[in-house]
Structure 1
Amino acid sequence: MFNILKKHKKDRKVVVIGIDGVPYTLLIDYINREIMPELSKLCSKGKLLKMKSTLPEISSVAWTSFMTGKNPGEHGIFGFMEIDRQSYEYTFPNFHSLRERPFWERDDIKTIAFNIPQTYPAKQMNGVMVSGFVAIDLKKATYPERVFNYLNGIGYRIDVNAKLATENPEAFFKDLFDTFEKRKKAIEYLYDNEEWQLFIGTITETDRLHHFFFDSAHGGSNFEIFERYYKELDRFLGIMAGKALKDGAVFMTCSDHGFADIKTEVYINRWLIENAYLKLNSTEGLKGITKESKVFCLDPSRIYIHLEGKYKRGNVKNSDCKSLIGELKDKLSGLTFEGQNVIKDIYLKEEIFRGNCVDDGPDIYLLPNYGFDLKGATNREHIFGKTHFRGMHTYDDAHFFISEPLQSEDFKIEDVAGVISRYLK
């Protein structure tokens, strides 16, 4: 570490390979089963940590905390969707919605930021940006134009075709590997052909595979797909770590959250309806929320008090909030499925958020026990159910790897920015 830190600032480099949704425990299992020998070699000299995600433990929030080094209450992203307080229509925050700048922008670090979720549309920057999920237009997702021309020329894909996972799994697997090949090719090209001090290349195929087939991650009918994919991922990590070593760069990998098998999905708005906290008079999401409604939920388990003065049809007075929140906590803590408690922890906004955007966050956040995938859907007829998803996000099983010594007992994704900056300043 001393040799790296005594370099002149402009000669210091950091390489980060983001691997969306890859749990620490899965990597340990695959290392032990010799599926990932390259990562095993890296771990013999570096440090692989179990890392906490953000709350909510979803990609848009977690990757924004990675980019900014800030809590959601500071950067202002609490989910992939919000609602308009007047019309109750869903709105979708994008890269322009961030209330904090990425750390590389604050510190004027020449950066390649490739395929990071929640970076659409791409903005002009000191370096290169290729937006990740939920980008819909490659041209708008790319800066500068020469990079778009290259990506378009190789048939680069922003994302896999997720619909295939249920319609035709074999076609989905082929699409997954084809998209991964284009992703790797683009990452290596940008690494070799663009100037940078910080290089971030993010892999998102892992998250898609996990959502639809995580029940095969440790064994099962599709385990051979996991084994093949992770062996290819491992080879790629070895290649990128080798490039970083040759260039004297610190090498890191990072996920935004972990994953676990799903026992059942849990529809919180249905629970609120059945317990007389929410009433809807239409099937159009929350547009039909009535004045009698006290509470509503946005994905995954963000509970908002329907406050008078804050929402157009809000009817809950500030003076009633404390007792209402206490009542909800008592009832939700007793929610069970087949004898198991669904909810692990119930947080109030002031317990987990800090910053100027706290008021925009949920009043209550529910963290489930593993196996219970909480949802904000409004169209379910029952509290519990299952769909095509087989994997759910987890908060406390993300991972972080660094090729240099690192001591930390309670490492969070928002801490990564500070670690990167330490090696670049």
Structure 2
Amino acid sequence: MALLGFLKKKKPHRACVVGLDGVPYTLVLRLAAEGVMPFLATLVKNGAAQKMKVTLPEISAVSWPSFMTGANPGVHGIFGFTELSPDYKMRFTNFTSLKCPTFWDKLGERGKRSVVINQPGTYPARPIPGALISGFVALELNKSISPIKLLATVRRANYEIDIDTQRCRKDHNQLFLELKRTTEGRRQVIDALWKEEDWDYFQAVITGTDRLQHYLMAAVEDKSHPRHGQAMEYYANIDRFIKEMWERYHASAEVSAEGEGFYLLSDHGFCLIEQEVNINAWLKQEGYLRFENDPPKGYEDITADSRAFALDPGRIYIHQKGKYPRGCVEPGAETDALIKEIGDKLRSLCYYDKNVIEMVRTRDEAYQGPEAKNGPDLVPVGNHGFDLKASLGAKEIFGRSDLTGMHTWDDAFFWSKDPQGPDLVITQLAEIVTKTI
């Protein structure tokens, strides 16, 4: 019997990460305490749930690359969902925009394999050492999968990249149907790839949490809201999902000398919206921005005397000579003075008696690295409740849409068995989640 025990195959040292897009630390603690997510409550009690800050701006297009590279945007080169070319054409960033390797690439250099499912910011999928299924913003399923031989497996699982965001934003009955259906598709793909793939690192991201909180954060926060019960049922389903992943991991992995290798995280926090704040409308009102047409057709309508403009979700660029064909602001002292002037004015912006802006970071304060030169000149961050936007056609600075939830930069969460030290930042996680492999 001793010989048989010796010959029994030892479980490998592995790591497993579950991403919950947009779930705030404060909500984790609340849902655990209220019994909505009982398994998460067990993890919180027996491990370390920590509040975490993210890179700026606090959007998935920036935060997820910061996680998967362990680098700030000044290194990985992605500053938003969009970027502006020198001819004023707006284009969307994607996986090809990333300027440095992911930690899955680095694991591959050590002969380790990763399975990564529904990872935002990885479209179009490219080969990694293992398997990758791209998440939001992915357009075509067959371009979201690497290696492509997994396409049949993914289709058999009835896997969907995302909910129909345009429909579900208006139709909340449909929202809950699609949240349930897409979560089930994730489960089926995980089941298949967990068994079929040889892996050392496994990651699955749930993005439905972000969708629910954008469209119905009021239902999440307000127990009297008619959709509150449905929202709590969804989180209870996610709790079961976390438990399933935990049990799978512990059935297949040995805890290494470096410690437990199971982790939970979000890419930013969330809170209720009081007002949406349009930065381009503010720049127009203050005389920094004008357009040839009203409403403007696009950024190509920016006039030659415009001194600044904003891209999503409010990052400000100086219309500088030499950088843009019609730029009018001289580099150097003139640019520096304008940056200070705009920053000072934004810091004093109020909605009635409430300060709108929590902080304004300059490029040098927010970013470090070879790509920092391509970042915004100013990054304003709204106080909780003030959701910054960069619509070109907006007439008013303040207003409301049908969204009820907004991102926060200082209330993301990370769970691990052991505490990871104070002042945790998302760029630290790449090293933390791979140390057990």
Q: TM-score, normalised by structure 1?
A: 0.95
- The aligned residue for residue 4 of structure 1 is none
Q: Distance in 2 between matches of 1:188 and 1:56?
A: 35
Q: Which runs of 5+ in 2 are unaligned?
A: 1-9, 256-260
Aligned counterparts of 1:139 and 1:322: Cα–Cα separation in 2: 47
Residue type at the aligned position of 2:121? Q
Corresponding residue for 2:26?
25
Match of 1:320 in 2: 334
Residues 153 and 192 in structure 2, CA contact (< 8 A), matched pair in contact too: no
Matched, 1:292 2:308: no
Q: Alpha-carbon deviation of 1:119?
A: 0.1
Query: What secondary structure, in the 3-state scheme, does the structure 2 residue paired with 1:99 have?
Result: coil
1:132 maps to 135
Aligned pair partner of 1:406 in 410, 419, 425: 419
The match for 2:239 is 234
Distance 1:179 1:421 in 2: 28
Aligned to 2:149: 146
Confirm or deny: 8 A CA contact 2:133 2:146 kept in the other structure: yes
Q: Are 1:172 and 2:185 an aligned pair?
A: no
Other-structure match for 1:346 = 360
Query: Are the equivalent residues in 1 in contact too, given 2:277–2:386 (CA < 8 A)?
Result: yes
Q: In the alignment, is the contact (CA less than 8 A) between 1:279 and 1:293 conserved in 2?
A: yes
How many Å separate the matches in 2 of 1:298 and 1:221? 36
Q: Which runs of 5+ in 1 are unaligned?
A: 1-8
Which segment drifts farther, 58-67 or 40-49? 40-49
Deviation per CA, 1:97-140: give whole Å up to 9, x if none. Answer: 11111012023130001111110011112100000011011001
User: Is the Cα contact below 8 Å between 1:10 and 1:197 reproduced in 2?
Assistant: no
SS at match of 1:214: helix
Q: CA deviation at 1:42?
A: 1.7
- Whether contact under 8 Å (1:51, 1:399) holds in the other structure is yes
Residue of structure 2 equivalent to 1:48: 49
The yes-or-no answer on 1:207 pairing with 2:207 is: no
4+ residue stretches of structure 1 with deviation over 3 A?
A: none
CA offsets 1:389-412 (integer angstroms, 9 cap, x no match) = 11000001001111x312310111
Output the amino acid matched with 1:297. A
1:44, CA displacement in angstroms?
Answer: 2.6
Contact 1:131 1:141 in 2 (8 A): yes
Please say if residues 104 and 128 of structure 2, whose CA atoms lie closer than 8 Å, have aligned partners that are also in contact: no
Contact 2:309 2:316 in 1 (8 A): yes
Q: Is the 8 A contact 1:332 1:343 kept in 2?
A: yes
Query: Retained in 2: the 8 A contact 1:117–1:133?
Result: yes
Give the aligned CA root-mean-square deviation in angstroms: 1.4
Q: What are the Cα deviations for residues 11-41 of structure 1, in whole angstroms up to 9, with x where unaligned?
A: 3200000110000100100011011110111
Q: 1:39 maps to which residue?
A: 40
- Deviation string 1:297-343 (CA, Å, 9 cap, x unpaired) is 00112100111001111110013012111111221111111210000
Deviations 1:256-286 (A, max 9, x none): 0000000010000001011110011132221
Q: Which amino acid aligns with 1:119?
A: T
TM-score by length of 2: 0.92
Q: Give the CA deviation at 1:209.
A: 0.6
DSSP 3-state at the match of 2:301: coil
How does 1:117-128 map onto structure 2 within 5 Å? 117-128=120-131
For 2:335, give the aligned amino acid. C
CA deviation after TM superposition for structure 1 residue 10, in Å:
9.9
Distance in 2, Cα, partners of 1:252 & 1:167: 34
Which among 287, 294, 308 is matched to residue 276 of structure 1? 287
Identical pairs, percent? 39
Q: Corresponding residue for 2:90?
A: 90
- How many residues are matched? 414
Q: Which amino acid aligns with 1:233?
A: I
Name the CA distance, whole Å, in 1 between partners of 2:100 and 2:288: 34
Give the aligned partner of residue 6 of structure 1: none
